[in-house]
Each structure stands twice: as structure tokens, then as C-alpha cells.
Amino acid sequence: MKSKLRSKWGTLSCMMLVGALLSTCWGQSSAVHASATAYKFDFGAGSVVSGYTGVQASTAYNPSTGYGFNTPSNIKNVSASGTGIGSDAVQFVTFGTKSNNTFNVDLPNGLYEVKVTLGNTTRSSVAAEGVYQLINMTGDLATDQFQIPITDGQLNLLVTEGKVGAVFTLSALEITQVSTNPTTHPTIYVGGDSTVANYYPLANSVQGGWGQMLSKFINQNDYLVRNMASGGQIARGFRDDGQLEAILKYIKPGDYFIVQLGINDTNAKNNTTEAQFKEIMRDMVKQVKAKGATVILSTPQGRATDFDSSGVHHAEGRWYRAATIALAQEENVPLIDLNILSSAYFTSIGANATLALYMNGDTLHPNYAGATELARIVVENMKAQGLY
């Protein structure tokens, strides 16, 4: 939702190019930006880190500066537990992907890399241009980044729900233009549940999802990886609650959508039969195929303890696997049968080594090392099928 006060981006860019010092409403001077296509904002009421522009909760969007909050009355300054840019933050009091309670930045049209540092929060998601960009960033001062095309001269960003009852905070924002062409690079979009999702810090989290690790095995010059998976997710929720919407906004011919669901759909509390699961998945497949992208269905791996008395790991009957396999055949889309592929690997390393790839006391969720192995298996199978 765009501010009606938007100016031409040239006002901001010209001021930055000549190195003008912009005075903030509380008397501090904002940092000088290096160019019209690189912006760094430090949020909160504390001191401003050198090289950043300070932004308080009361900083309203202004055409003359080209940045600010659309509704500052719904933002408040809060502290944070880090240092530097992580010592303070702002909190979004109202939120939601369609909310107009956004931080707006005038930008020349193009493709941008946006780096987000949250404040203190248990779990938050980041939305921009009315759709999710980052899903369920967990823990204080979590950091992640995404690429986004800007086609209307302004970025509109907010921090929003990742967990009911959490606070949604933002400590810092860095925006860098990647290209003057507002077209996304070839991208592998990933959908799924907690066995696929990102965990933070991304580089050394204890728990891991294979979607988080996929970029370790994908050449970033070939494809970017955008992981939209989230813990506890079911097919209906992924389709209807904003994650598929975000993918459909950007996905294009040449891109991939790998989706793995079914674990939580089998839980009675989610009231989804296997037939219903299959048709919801079919709907998502059709919507993505209509965008000209390639859909890849994946079956989930089994539990760490799915070994028989002969030391063979097998979990073929789990997680609505049969429906996923049938759907891939009916819709003529590739299948990564991670269930079978991971079982073969687990059998080769044995029960004890397999258990070591899962979280302590948890036979379902992989740890960082386990998620890395699953991602390796996924990419190896993509290569074997000629998909990558």
C-alpha cells in the first residue's frame, strides 16, 4: 500500500549524491549515503551508528527526504539486546501483510537486495509490497536478506506475524540496487514445513531445515533460493495464508517451486484427509504451472527411528506419500522421493549415525547437519533428473 505523499525518487537520490546531511526530527544528523542506490537505516531512539541514517518511531514519510513511516502513530521505539545497530529498534504495533503501517523508501525502479536485522522478537516475518518476503525469523536480532523488484518507485516494508503474541521489531535495514532492470534472477522457491524451514542464525543454527541448506549446493550464479517454508504448516495453510501468494507474485518461466508437505496434514487436529491434501496440492501445482514455472514435488523423510530389525530404514507409509507420488504422475511434474532417498542414506550410515542427524530427543526434526545432508540429497536428485 503506497503512501499518497510519494515524491519522485530523484529528490532523495540527488541529496544523497551530493552528500547532503539530512536533519532528523530529534536533532541528530542522518548518515551520508554512498550513492543513490545504497541505503542504510538504523531504527530506534538510541545513538545512530556511523554510516547509517537514524530513524525513530516518529519519523513520518516525507517527500523531501524520501523515507519514513506511513503511520508513525502505530510505531514505537523499543530497546534491543545487541550492540551498534542492534542496541535499539522500532516495534510495529499494527501489522499484517496488507497493513499500510509500513516503512517507505523512495527508490528508482530496479532490482534490490534488502537486508533486514530484527530487534528482540521470538518469531517474526517480513512483508514488502503486500506479501511475505521472509518467513518466521526466530530469535533476537535475527538477520536475513531477500531480493525484490521495485516497479512503482517505492519500497513498502513492515515486520509482521510469525507467532501470535510476539512483538514485531526492526533494528536495521540495508537496501542495495542490484540492477536497473526490475526482474528477479532465476529462482528456486521452496515450500514446506518445519523440516524444510529456515532457522536462525542461518549460518550456525542448532536446528535446520533442508530448504535453509539448499543454497550450499546450488551455484548462486545459477539460481537464488527463496525458502518460504514454515513450521507446523499444512497444504491448506501454505496455499491460503500468504506463502503461495508471495511466490505467485514473483515466480516466472525458468524458475522452480519445490514443495514438500504432508507431515502436519496427517495430524488429526488439522482435519485434512489424504484426498483433500492431494487436491489442495493439485491446486497449487496448477497455479504455479500457469505462471510458466516448473513445479517439483517432494516427499518428506521419515523419522530417525524408522529402522527395522535388520537395520534397514524405511518410512514409505508416512506423511501422505502415496498422494504426492500419484499427483506428480497425474500432473506430469518431477518428483523427488526424499522419503526413499533419505532412507537409503540412513540405512547406509546406520541407526546411531542417523539419530545424530536429528535434534536431541526428537526423531522428526533434523539438526543443522541432518538438514545439510537432506539438502545434498535433494540437489543430487535434481541433477540426476536433469533439473539442475
Instruction: State which of 152, 179, 206 marks the end of a domain.
Output: 179
Q: How many domains does the chain have?
A: 2
95 closest CA partner among 66, 70, 62: 70
Handedness of CA 70, 75, 81, 83 (dihedral sign): positive
In this structure, the answer to whether residues 320 and 351 fall within a common structural domain is: yes
What cell does 305 get? 527411528
Instruction: State which of 147, 179, 211 marks the end of a domain.
Output: 179
In this structure, the answer to whether residues 378 and 233 fall within a common structural domain is: yes
The domain of 87 spans 9-179
Give the active site residue among 171, 194, 205, 343: 194
In this structure, the answer to whether residues 58 and 204 fall within a common structural domain is: no
In this structure, the answer to whether residues 208 and 299 fall within a common structural domain is: yes
In this structure, the answer to whether residues 169 and 231 fall within a common structural domain is: no
Q: Please name the residue that has the C-alpha cell 518469531.
A: 123
In this structure, the answer to whether residues 244 and 305 fall within a common structural domain is: yes
In this structure, the answer to whether residues 193 and 119 fall within a common structural domain is: no
Cα-Cα-Cα-Cα torsion 129, 132, 133, 138, nearest 10 degrees, comes to: 140
Answer yes or no: is 2 within a domain: no
Among this protein's residues, is 58 annotated catalytic? no
143 closest CA partner among 126, 163, 160, 129: 126
CATH of the domain at 93: 2.60.120.430
Phi/psi class of residue 51: alpha, beta or left (left: φ > 0; alpha: ψ in -120 to 50)? left
CATH of the domain at 283: 3.40.50.1110
In this structure, the answer to whether residues 295 and 361 fall within a common structural domain is: yes
Instruction: State which of 179, 209, 225 marks the end of a domain.
Output: 179
Per-residue pLDDT tens listing for the chain (388 residues): 443 333 333 434 433 333 333 333 333 334 333 345 789 999 999 999 999 999 999 999 999 999 999 999 999 999 999 999 999 999 999 999 999 999 999 999 999 999 999 999 999 999 999 999 999 999 999 999 999 999 999 999 999 987 777 899 999 999 999 999 999 999 999 999 999 999 999 999 999 999 999 999 999 999 999 999 999 999 999 999 999 999 999 999 999 999 999 999 999 999 999 999 999 999 999 999 999 999 999 999 999 999 999 999 999 999 999 999 999 999 999 999 999 999 999 999 999 999 999 999 999 999 999 999 999 999 999 999 999 9
Q: Are strands 67-69 and 103-106 parallel, antiparallel or unpaired?
A: antiparallel
Answer yes or no: is 4 within a domain: no
In degrees rounded to 5, what are phi and psi of residue 263? -60, -50
In this structure, the answer to whether residues 104 and 164 fall within a common structural domain is: yes
Q: Which residues pair with 149 in a beta bridge?
A: 111
Question: What pLDDT is attached to residue 36?
Answer: 59
In this structure, the answer to whether residues 118 and 252 fall within a common structural domain is: no
Among this protein's residues, is 337 annotated catalytic? no
Q: Report d(CA 289, CA 293) in Å as an integer.
A: 5
CA 58 to chain centre: 28
Report pTM: 0.90
Among this protein's residues, is 194 annotated catalytic? yes
In this structure, the answer to whether residues 77 and 219 fall within a common structural domain is: no
In this structure, the answer to whether residues 134 and 264 fall within a common structural domain is: no
